[in-house]
Structure 1
Amino acid sequence: MMDATIRNHWFLDPGPLSSWIDRFADELAAQRYTPLTIEGYTASARHFAAWLGRAGISIDVIDGDVVRRFAEHRCRCPGGRQWLRISPKYSRRAGRFVVFLQEAGVACPPPKIASPYPLLDGYQSWLHIHRGLSERTIARHLRDLHKLLPELGTATLDYDAALIRSVVREWRERTGPADLRTITSALRSYLRYLAGAGLCRPNLDHAIPPVLQWRLSSLPRYLAAADVERVIASCDQLARGCLRDRAILLLLARLGLRAGDVACLRLDDIEWTSGMLRLSGKARRQVRLPLPQDVGDALLAYIEQERPCVPEEAVFLTMIAPYRSFAQSSHVSTIVALALKRAGISDPPSSGACLLRHSAATSMLRSGATLEAIGTVLRHRSLDMTAHYAKVDIAMLEQVAQPWPGELPC
């Protein structure tokens, strides 16, 4: 194998990119990639660099189209290759090398594509600065508005109630109630921004018809306390990531955190001396919660024994190089779903992080905690939201329920 590697290195001349391939390998090593993976990346980069020389393509014109041409070329490059087509994985690794060159300033950065809706740039800044929304929520609003704006048009001063209602009615026929609620929420927000900036008539957001729903009509979905402990104990079955997953599950089950809270947790948010946890919730609302002993012990064990030593501020990182924070909060829900499967809970009410959040609230209620205390821990803005959990207190409901009157005389 080593002889073949040396032979391929000899036949594939990367030319002026040779030193940059070495730097590329150093960067991958700094991100804790394994030597075998690094060799795969550098082999693709070396092949790509040699193909550039044979095709007469200069470094300063490398872009995504050049990588596509490399992926589609019928390979007759030196080293005994007789490939009809480059594999997708191989070409993706070459594309990663191109990104490295662009970040280093060797290759030209990809051109910025002008947005067809320039007003959305100001709207995005408004959501971030004045509304305090997360990047994920902002991205969802922008995605929904890109669906609506082709029908609304860009002449915002001409918007009227009839146009707004017409667009919403049309989308009601295309999608379900859940999606329609998110779309109309984004549209209301956008119209308020435009009205505040003097770009459309005021109060057009009131022209959007409501999407009817029974608010909090269902019972909370939760696990029994014994099942929650089985889910946490299932982490002992893991050979890799055991301590990380255990700490995440304890944060969800003991403090009722949201998936986004766990994904965004930073090392300096843990106040070890005072035993407190600092959280930045929705709309950048910061709170401090007491850190239970078992949760603190699990966090300390993960940070000291399992967390990779990389310059990342996030507490929880991926277990495969490159070690980085979770790209999406849904990764936390995936950890919960896998733990449910390991624990043998085959038919849970749900499989996301909210299941443990609801279970924590239900457990606190049955232990005698007041709705105000539960709402404080869960960081609810309204007590009506916390009152949702009162439905699971069957004993209390039996005391206030009225007997069925039966048939009443006329």
Structure 2
Amino acid sequence: MDANNRNHWFLDPGPLSSWIDQFAADLAAQRYTPLTIEGYTASARHFAAWLGSAGIAIDDIGDDVVRRFAEHRCRCPGGRRWLRVSPKYSRRAGRFVVFLQRKGVARPSVKVASSYPLLDDYRNWLRIHRGLSERTIARHLRHLHKLLPELGTATHDYDAALVRNVVREWRERTGPADLRTITSTLRSYLRFLAGAGLCRPNLDHAIPPVVQWRLSSLPRYLAAADLERVVASCDQLTRGRLRDRAILLLLARLGLRAGDVAGLRLSDLDWTSGMLRLSGKARRQVRLPLPQDVGDAILAYIELERPRVDQEAVFLMMVAPYRSFSQSSHVSTIVALALKRAGISDAPSTGASLLRHSAATSMLRSGATLEAVGTVLRHRSLDMTAHYAKVDIAMLEQIAQPWPGELAC
């Protein structure tokens, strides 16, 4: 009898045995490998056997039970002599508990009441009325959890002096970049409160501006030859080659943001008209023409490499469970790895925005107008697009204003 079968014999999962089998089937449906499934079911079997030895009923499985399992001094059957369970092992047992909760076998996790119940309404306001992405909403909430202990919950007592004092204190704690996002969040929250009649109006005007020189630096971009080397570096991959190539071409040809790529859906691709539908900032929807090489790359990925799973997202992770990118930073990681493969060690930056800047610069140098480039990049203001004209002195003539001469005092 091999070690695997001995463990199955000594570790009696009791009434959870059938649920462990269903857990394994659920993992298999998500395309986990047999070896990974065996690791999960071994943890689940150990957890179930420990429940029996500890006298814990299935109905009593709660959030603290997995922690107790992770900390127990293991003397379970099968020759185990562990001082404590490894973090990876306990996480797999926790995954089994989540499965049981989803099936209604274990009681659901208890949600701790928020100390700031108004934040639930604020979250819905940002989502419905402001059209912000979930990632941006989460950032606003993180900032507010830092600010509210100082602001307090008595919103009707808020005044200009309190708001300024909070901003002044945070100016001492953080840098200009973080302070800009914090003050932006605070303005948004005060507007929400004022609109709901929960604080006096116009308090957002009491927040002092954070001084910055907008668009003062040169745009960071890659030369055309380096850009092609980055795209060609995907040929070095054995797994994810077609996916990464399609992503890099979307960034380099259309100047998409990382969030645009991560959020792209199969329904956004109109193959008949050769158009791409995007939902950008504030959920503004636009349609862009799909270049031939980009369309070919996406189609090759979908037909030859994309996992056959019921997922609407175009780009998926390459390991099970096959799901969409949880964060847009995954797209920037793909860019950073491509730069490394291409041998470009002096790139001005390593994120997805580098290829967006490169696309804008390339379009301007190819003769495209500022208005055309701004349309492709979906800029709200032409001033943002004019930022890219600084990389070529000749192009500055398009935005330079005549010298007004000497003005009378």
Same fold (TM over 0.5): yes
Query: In the alignment, which residue of structure 2 is the partner of 1:20?
Result: 19
Q: How does 1:103-252 map to 2 (within 5 A)?
A: 103-252=102-251
Cα distance in 2, alignment partners of residues 359 and 252 from structure 1: 9
Q: How does 1:342-357 map to 2 (within 5 A)?
A: 342-357=341-356
Query: In the alignment, which residue of structure 1 is the partner of 2:333?
Result: 334
Change (3 A) 1:380 1:397: closer
Cα distance in 2, alignment partners of residues 287 and 352 from structure 1: 24
Query: In the alignment, which residue of structure 2 is the partner of 1:65?
Result: 64
Cα distance in 1, alignment partners of residues 137 and 394 from structure 2: 43
CA contact (8 A) 2:61 2:107 kept: yes
CA contact (8 A) 2:101 2:107 kept: yes
Query: In the alignment, which residue of structure 1 is the partner of 2:380?
Result: 381
Cα distance in 1, alignment partners of residues 279 and 72 from structure 2: 50
Gaps in structure 2 of 5+ consecutive residues: 402-409
Cα distance in 2, alignment partners of residues 47 and 114 from structure 1: 33
CA contact (8 A) 2:370 2:386 kept: yes
CA contact (8 A) 2:222 2:354 kept: yes
Query: In the alignment, which residue of structure 1 is the partner of 2:322?
Result: 323
Root-mean-square deviation (CA, aligned residues, Å) is 1.3
State the 1:395 CA deviation: 2.6
Cα distance in 2, alignment partners of residues 401 and 102 from structure 1: 64
SS of 2:210 mapped into structure 1 = coil
Query: In the alignment, which residue of structure 2 is the partner of 1:5?
Result: 4
Work out the number of aligned pairs and report it.
401
State the 1:213 CA deviation: 0.2
SS of 2:324 mapped into structure 1 = coil
Cα distance in 2, alignment partners of residues 78 and 366 from structure 1: 71
Query: In the alignment, which residue of structure 1 is the partner of 2:404?
Result: none
Asked if residue 262 in structure 1 is aligned to residue 261 in structure 2, the reply is yes
Identify which range, 201-210 or 388-397, moves more after superposition: 388-397
SS of 1:314 mapped into structure 2 = coil
SS of 2:125 mapped into structure 1 = helix
Cα distance in 2, alignment partners of residues 8 and 130 from structure 1: 56
Query: In the alignment, which residue of structure 1 is the partner of 2:38?
Result: 39
State the 1:397 CA deviation: 4.1
Identify which range, 166-175 or 63-72, moves more after superposition: 63-72
What per-residue deviation string (whole Å, max 9, x for no partner) do you get for residues 275-308 of structure 1? 0000000001000000000000000000000000
State the 1:396 CA deviation: 3.5
State the 1:14 CA deviation: 0.3
Amino acid at match of 1:60: D
State the 1:65 CA deviation: 1.2
Query: In the alignment, which residue of structure 1 is the partner of 2:389?
Result: 390
State the 1:322 CA deviation: 0.5
SS of 1:360 mapped into structure 2 = helix
SS of 2:75 mapped into structure 1 = coil
State the 1:84 CA deviation: 1.6
Cα distance in 2, alignment partners of residues 85 and 32 from structure 1: 30
Indicate the percent of aligned positions where both proteins have the same amino acid. 87
Query: In the alignment, which residue of structure 2 is the partner of 1:371?
Result: 370
Amino acid at match of 1:152: L
Cα distance in 2, alignment partners of residues 278 and 43 from structure 1: 45
TM-score w.r.t. the length of structure 1 is 0.96
Change (3 A) 1:215 1:19: same
Cα distance in 2, alignment partners of residues 223 and 396 from structure 1: 18
State the 1:399 CA deviation: 10
Amino acid at match of 2:254: L
Amino acid at match of 1:196: G
Amino acid at match of 2:121: G
Cα distance in 2, alignment partners of residues 281 and 50 from structure 1: 50
What per-residue deviation string (whole Å, max 9, x for no partner) do you get for residues 380-404 of structure 1? 01111111011012234489999xx
TM-score w.r.t. the length of structure 2 is 0.96
Query: In the alignment, which residue of structure 1 is the partner of 2:54?
Result: 55
